Amino acid sequence: MDELSRLIRAKNNIRFCSECGTQMGYSAVHGIFTCKNCGAAYKDIYGHMKELLEETPTLSLAEMSMILNVPLRQLRQYVRNGILENPNMDQEP
């Protein structure tokens, strides 16, 4: 199973809010789980990557790897699969 398929399957898992126990909805565009009852929101790794790139668009993959504690290999796979896009990502070794 490729990485994109794995991520899509992970998003289809039902999550429940730690605040009130209600089922949460998922926004694949933003990488955020939101509680349908109390409105609590939790970012998955994609949500954190997206936010980091919006705040610091010149960030390299190596820097992102260190900040988010995500293996560089995994980030490179995200770029290859089109999950993660940023002009500076092409400059990686």
pLDDT (tens digit per residue) in 35-45: 888 989 888 88
Q: Residues 27-41: what's their mean pLDDT?
A: 85
**Helices (H) and strands (E) in the chain — how many of each?**
4, 4
Q: Is residue 7 scored above 60 in pLDDT? A: no
33 and 26 in contact (C-beta within 8 Å)?
yes
State both tokens at 18: 């730690």
Select from 31, 87, 63 the least CA-distant residue to 75: 63
Work out the mean pLDDT of the chain and round it to a whole number: 79
Q: Is residue 12 scored above 70 in pLDDT? A: no
Residue 3, CA distances (Å) to 9, 68, 73 in order: 10, 18, 12
Q: Percentage of the chain surpassing pLDDT 70?
A: 76
Which SS3 state, helix, strand or coil, does residue 80 take? helix
